[in-house]
Amino acid sequence: MRKFIINVNGNSYEVEVEEVGGVVSAPKAAPKAAPVSTPAAAPSAPKAAPKAAPAVAASAGQEVVDAPMPGNIWKILVKEGQEVKSGDVLLILEAMKMENEIVAPRDGVVASLTTSEGAAVNTGDKLVILD
């Protein structure tokens, strides 16, 4: 826990903030707690490492449409082989309770969809490849 003094609209407040994640520093003084007896816990099974997204490679003349922000794929509006014009909506990405239209950056044909409806994506994840 770290203590800070924060001034808001002329009022001074003393707050304690707990650091979560990142580098954990050792406490300056041991906290005073009553001893608690706990039953011996069974060793937990190791967690499986998350699967990495498959690598998507675009060949010459193709363009990859990336996710501009993290979110969930709400709806895919195109199919592989479909012709699209610049500005056509390819899919809808839901982020922070907002539906964001992901549009085609140029005219072309949808070579492949590299995501699916309901999938969680991060910034920079490959969504669609255009020929």
Spatial contact of 126 and 113, defined as CB atoms under 8 Å apart: no
Q: Check residue 128 and report its DSSP letter.
A: E
Does residue 105 lie in a domain region? yes
Q: Is the residue at 57 inside a domain?
A: no
Measured distance CA(82)–CA(130) in Å, rounded: 10
Total of domains in the chain: 1
User: 0.75 exceeded by the pTM?
Assistant: no
Question: Which pLDDT does position 60 carry in this prediction?
Answer: 75
pLDDT band at 27 (very low <50, low <70, confident <90, very high): low
Residue 126: domain span: 63-130
> Where residue 85 sits, what CATH number does that domain have?
2.40.50.100
Task: Give the span between the Cα atoms of 98 and 116, in whole angstroms.
Answer: 18
What is the band of 15 on the pLDDT scale with cuts at 50, 70, 90?
A: confident
For 107, the enclosing helix (H) or strand (E) is: none
- For residue 109, tell me if it sits in a domain: yes
**101 within domain boundaries:** yes
Q: What is the CA radius of gyration of the chain?
A: 24
| Tens-digit pLDDT profile for residues 104-128 | 999 999 999 999 999 999 999 999 9
Higher-pLDDT residue of 98 and 17 is 98
User: What integer best gives the mean pLDDT of the chain?
Assistant: 79
Asked whether residue 56 is assigned to any structural domain, the reply reads no
Residue 34 predicted with pLDDT over 70: no
